[in-house]
């Protein structure tokens, strides 16, 4: 039997179709943004002689490779045993999309102190296997597992081990240190203050502020559900409010990716007696202050260690 629609019926049908199409499009775009939050593009790392040459340029010998199981992830790491035999170690944490190789450009900062170095591929990065990247939620525990591995390997206490992280790794280091205040120190270069803020800023840069505000809450929730973590709990700013080890925050004023206000907010939440903020004016882009001025960067670190970790390094 043929159905005759009135104008009201046609309007209701059209509005229903419009709402359904809008919800479908919203869901597709929200899922797409959630995928972007969780996806990491693989990067290449030198191999063989090229790797050894690159490491030698930083004064490092070939690494001792190891794997470590933390939670559901199998982490791939490199251990560099310092021939100087210093009773100290530093765990170095790379940025998002990088690897254990890329963070080693900063190795001379600590190798010259006689310290052992460990660099590890974060979960979902490099040669590590298992699990999504969670912006520090699980990586903080991974970091403490690596600290425990190094402590046992070299018979060191946590007081003899420091953390150094860049960008994603910087926030991870700060969150890990909140659970291990006895660590010697944390150096956090170009950290983001919290995940919702940096996700909104990146989304606004890519898609515009209105779309970022519209889609981000749902996309964060979807990412958290898929990777089983709470995106709103990812906060270096909150982590430093507790009993943390001494913290050195470094951030380039010219950083156009994660602006220096992130480190300023973290510093404002820090214990002022155990926290230092250095905003560099060297024209460096994101996470590149050391590359632009190694000597000045080394001086910032040396001053910090003298004031806050004077017994770190050496035999």
Q: Is residue 141 part of a domain?
A: yes
Q: What is the pLDDT of residue 158?
A: 96
Give the whole-angstrom CA distance, residue 90 versus residue 249: 16
Q: Is residue 199 part of a domain?
A: no
- Whether the model pTM is above 0.95: no
- Written in H, E and C, the secondary structure of 25-53 is HHHHHHHHHHHHHHCCCCCCCCCHHHHHH
Q: What is the pLDDT of residue 206?
A: 82
Query: Are the C-beta atoms of 226 and 218 separated by less than 8 Å?
Result: no
Q: Can you give the length of the chain in residues?
A: 315
Q: What is the pLDDT of residue 300?
A: 98
- CATH number at 117 reads 3.40.50.1820
Bridge partners, 186 (sequence order): 163, 247
Give the whole-angstrom CA distance, residue 169 versus residue 175: 10
Q: Is residue 55 part of a domain?
A: yes
Q: Which residues contact 20 (CB under 8 A, 6 or more apart)?
A: none
Q: Is residue 68 part of a domain?
A: yes
Q: Is residue 3 part of a domain?
A: no
Q: What is the pLDDT of residue 247?
A: 98
Own/partner pairs for 285-288, CB < 8 Å, 24+ apart? 285/252, 285/254, 285/255, 285/256, 285/257, 286/167, 286/190, 286/252, 286/255, 286/256, 286/257, 286/258, 287/95, 287/166, 287/167, 287/189, 287/190, 287/252, 287/255, 288/252
Cα–Cα nearest to 92, from 83, 100, 80, 81: 100
> Token pair for residue 159?
């007081």
> Token pair for residue 4?
């005759």
Q: Is residue 146 part of a domain?
A: yes
Number of domains within the chain: 1
* pLDDT tens by residue, the chain, 315 residues: 555 567 776 666 666 665 655 555 556 676 778 788 898 887 889 998 899 999 999 999 999 999 999 988 999 999 999 999 889 999 999 999 999 999 999 999 999 999 999 999 999 999 999 889 999 999 999 999 999 999 999 999 999 999 999 999 999 999 999 999 999 999 999 999 999 999 999 888 888 888 888 888 988 999 999 999 999 999 999 999 988 899 999 999 999 999 999 999 999 999 999 999 999 999 999 999 999 999 999 999 999 999 999 999 865
Give the whole-angstrom CA distance, residue 177 versus residue 243: 9
Query: Are the C-beta atoms of 154 and 85 separated by less than 8 Å?
Result: no
The residue segments making up the domain with residue 162 are: 48-194+234-306
């Amino acid at each position: 039997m043929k159905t005759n629609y009135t104008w009201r019926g046609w309007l209701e049908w059209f509005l229903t179709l419009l709402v359904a199409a809008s919800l479908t499009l919203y869901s597709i775009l929200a899922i797409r943004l959630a995928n972007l939050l969780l996806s990491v593009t693989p990067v290449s790392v030198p191999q063989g002689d090229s790797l050894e040459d690159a490491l030698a340029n930083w004064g490092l010998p070939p690494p001792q490779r190891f794997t470590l199981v933390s939670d559901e992830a199998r982490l791939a790491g490199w251990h560099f045993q310092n021939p100087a035999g210093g009773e100290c170690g530093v765990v170095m944490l790379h940025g998002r999309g990088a690897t254990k190789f890329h963070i080693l450009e900063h190795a001379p900062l600590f190798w010259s102190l006689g310290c052992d170095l460990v660099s590890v591929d974060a979960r979902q990065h490099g040669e590590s296997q298992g699990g999504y990247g969670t912006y520090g939620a699980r990586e903080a525990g991974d970091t403490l597992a690596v600290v425990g591995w190094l402590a046992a390997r070299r018979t060191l206490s946590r007081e003899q081990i420091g953390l150094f992280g860049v960008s994603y790794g910087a926030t991870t280091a700060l969150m890990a240190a909140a659970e291990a205040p006895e660590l010697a120190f944390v150096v956090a270069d170009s950290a983001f203050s919290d995940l919702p803020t940096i996700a909104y800023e990146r989304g606004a840069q890519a898609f515009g502020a209105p779309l970022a505000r519209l889609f981000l809450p749902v996309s964060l929730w979807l990412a958290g559900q898929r990777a089983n973590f709470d995106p709103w709990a990812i906060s270096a700013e909150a982590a430093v409010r507790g009993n943390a080890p001494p913290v050195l925050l470094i951030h380039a004023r010219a950083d156009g990716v994660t602006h220096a206000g992130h480190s300023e907010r973290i510093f404002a939440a820090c214990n002022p007696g155990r926290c230092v903020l250095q905003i560099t004016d060297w024209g460096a882009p994101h996470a590149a202050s050391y590359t632009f001025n190694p000597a000045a960067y080394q001086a910032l670190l040396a001053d910090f260690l003298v004031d806050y970790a004077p017994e770190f390094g050496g035999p």
